[in-house]
Amino acid sequence: MSNARTARFSRRGLLAAGGAFGLGAFVTACGTEDSKDGGSESTASAKSGPWSFKDDRGKTVKLDKVPANIVAFTGVAAALHDYGVSVKGVFGPTKTQAGKPDVQAGDMDISKVTILGNTWDQFSVEKYAALAPDVLISTMFDSAGTLWYVPEASKDKIAKLAPSVGISVYDRQLTAPLQRMWELAESLGGDMKAAKATDAKKRFEEASERLRKAAKAHPDIKVMAGSASQELFYVSGTNFSVDLEYFKALGVNFVEPPEKAKAKTGGWFESLSWENVDKYPADIIMMDDRSSTIQPADITEATWKKLPAVKAGQVIARSPEPILSYDKCVPLVENLAKAIETAKKVS
């Protein structure tokens, strides 16, 4: 929603999916195994006493005290930051080549965290061990429980150093992982009664209702979710991606590549040459905003510039790996609602 390489897929190609399917590394969580439903089992305050949390693999991590040394995938760390929970180390896209915070870092001060790895397959086990981690937290983009951005080559070493928690962002609507991240942050000491948290949740609900009404009022407006690389343009289907599944449930009319066209990518997306970028008519194009993809302003292909939605200025950003706090998801919903409300029918 998406940074792996497998078979003959390009890295950016997989990014277009907003997730991965069986890639990266699966870290076996320390702790006991329960049902697959997940759910917070914290019985402690954030300051003292034992801590436990059942993740979306059905694994329960139990510790003598609430984790203090937390290491997390960058997007997870950004979400926890919004709820007042700090982490010691991060892995995943954190800093751009210009040295600025990556879009997935949210509002975190990246100068105050240890970056264990900034790109796919980068993860310094030595730095991780030096942090004396209590827990590692990441998202999961498949049904197998693969922890996002934990390298396959070093997964066993990483797993021995601390238990892990996985929050699933696979084949479910956005509201599910948002609620799970809320529960996790609360168990880790986040102040979920703070105005910042409660107001953001209310704004998210209001934005969702706005999008629902916009989609109902403009059912003819066709939206395409895309991502760009030098060689190819990727059209994402709504299956599996938490944001697109949610928007579709609210009534948004999406371009849906046929299953046969998505077969080579596990059902996530279709790859198109730039010559065929006009294959699917669309009134609005949502483009992957991650730093590993080419942004609309930098696309030089003539076929792109000729697209009706592009010529009409009806291109907006999409976050295939949304930061799972209500505050960061509000603009994602609002921007799409506004785009649909104001879009001209050009397809």
Q: 308 by DSSP, 3-state: which? A: helix
- Name the average pLDDT for the chain: 89
Band (pLDDT 50/70/90 cuts) for residue 7 is very low
Residue 4 CA to residue 23 CA, distance in Å, equals 6
Distance CA 72, CA 184 (A): 12
SS3 71: strand
- Return all residues near 95 (Cβ < 8 A) that are at least 6 apart: 101, 102, 105, 110, 115, 118
pLDDT tens digits, 164-188: 999 999 999 999 999 999 999 999 9
Q: Where do runs of H (alpha helix) occur along 86-240? A: 125-130, 155-161, 175-187, 195-217
Lookup result for tokens 């983009």: 141
154 to 92, 122, 128, 193, 291: CA distances (angstroms): 15, 10, 12, 39, 25
Q: Give DSSP secondary structure letters for 77-128.
A: HHHHHHTT---SEEESS-B-TTSSBPGGGTT--GGGSEEEESSTT---HHHH
| pLDDT, position 48 | 66
Q: Which pTM value belongs to this model? A: 0.88
Give the separation between CA 299 and CA 187, rounded to whole angstroms.
44
> Which residues touch 5 (CB under 8 Å, ≥6 apart)?
11, 14, 23, 120
pLDDT tens per residue, range 221-236: 999 999 999 999 999 9
Q: How many CB atoms lie within 10 A of CB 28?
A: 16
The one-letter code for the residue type at 45 is S
For 24-45, what is each residue's pLDDT tens digit? 322 223 333 343 344 433 333 3
**Mean pLDDT value of segment 59-79:** 98
